[in-house]
Amino acid sequence: MDTRTLGSTGPTVSAIGLGCMGMSDLYGPTDRSESIRTIHAALDAGVTLIDTGDFYGMGHNEMLIGEALKGRNRDAVQLSVKFGALRDPHGRFIGFDCRPAAVKSFVSYTLQRLGVDHIDIYRPSRLDPNVPIEDTIGAIAELVQAGYVRHIGLSEVGSDTIRRAAKVHPIVDLQIEYALITRGIEDDILPTCRELGIGITAYGVLSRGLIGGHLSKPPAANDYRSHSPRFQGANLDANLALVEKLRTIADGLGISVAQLAIAWVLAQGDDIVPVIGARTVPRLQEALAALDVDLTPQHLAALTTAIPRNAAAGSRYAEAQMAFLDSEK
């Protein structure tokens, strides 16, 4: 497994991470046994970075990962955990809480559910508009001093917030959406992170399956993507037309569309680690094969021509969710 280092002060991790959200939440029915097999297959293949959130399935995802890690070498795995999102008994998101007291409460429950004594990278899932980022990062810094957390990360925040956070404690990475059809971070956020020595853990590299090459119809009603603008009506038709452009290039390379999209993200810099939301072993194996794809400058230029910036139809989240993204302000 190739490795990359998260920022100038962070850990060395596998060049591709495994995001586990879909194993518990939001994408329709899940299969516990297949989820555990997928996590085990990832670990056996050398994947060391496992990403979750305490609100994925209201704790279910952490318990699933904890079960999958039993009997495994804890020191061979880096657990990345997001916190702060609040949900009601129906699963609806009802806000964020990143107060210092809440941070320390959240991590306590996470440690218990995962069955571990420390979290490798701990990060607020979004900026809490009611809590200065300095207070939130300061609380995590206290957890670092106490040994419960090893490193601090951020998620979906803009350059001003990144700079303010970095003044409180070293930040190892920013988790943010980055893909061929989602390139907004290139304007300001990515340069800021590189200036400060902060890595990028990129999620949504397949745009929630939109550019994975396997989607042929709108998501089911119980799939949260059915509420996403990019997956609706004419937007979906336009975006799937972009996928066919990718397929032409992928076919010429003898690889899948998903492998091409992941390889593109890998090629954007050694400070970027794609986090792949594979829910099954075959999808995981397909994603990991992207590590063997060597895109030349000519390939990258062809991709830029086929999929110019801002080519995607529709925003990456629904309007209500976009309002919570400090990274979009």
All residues at 6 or more sequence positions from 28 whose CB lies less than 8 Å from its CB, including other chains = 219, 220, 222, 223
Q: Percentages helix, strand, coil for the chain, rounded to the nearest 5?
A: 45, 20, 40
Identify which of 121, 129, 119 has the alpha carbon closest to the alpha carbon of residue 98: 129
Closest CA to 42 of 255, 254, 286: 286
Contact 50, 56 (CB under 8 A): no
233 sits in the region (left: phi over 0; alpha: psi -120 to 50; else beta) called: left
Q: Cα–Cα distance between 16 and 276 in angstroms, integer?
A: 7
If you ran DSSP here, which 8-state letter would residue 232 be given? S
Taken in order 16, 22, 26, 27, is the CA torsion positive or negative?
positive
From the candidates 27, 56, 203, 317, which is the catalytic residue? 56
Alpha-carbon dihedral sign for residues 218, 224, 225, 226: positive
The label of the residue with tokens 């094969």 reads 289
> What is the rounded end-to-end Cα distance, in angstroms, of the chain?
37
Amino acid at 120: D
Nearest to 38 by CA among 252, 285, 304: 285
Token pair belonging to 64: 């699933």
Torsion angle of the four alpha carbons 179, 181, 187, 192, in this order, in degrees rounded to the nearest 10: -10
Q: CB of 181 within 8 A of CB of 307?
A: yes
Alpha-carbon gap, residue 142 to 147, rounded angstroms = 9
Catalytic annotation present for 56: yes
Give the chain's length. 329
Q: What is the set of active-site residues?
A: 56
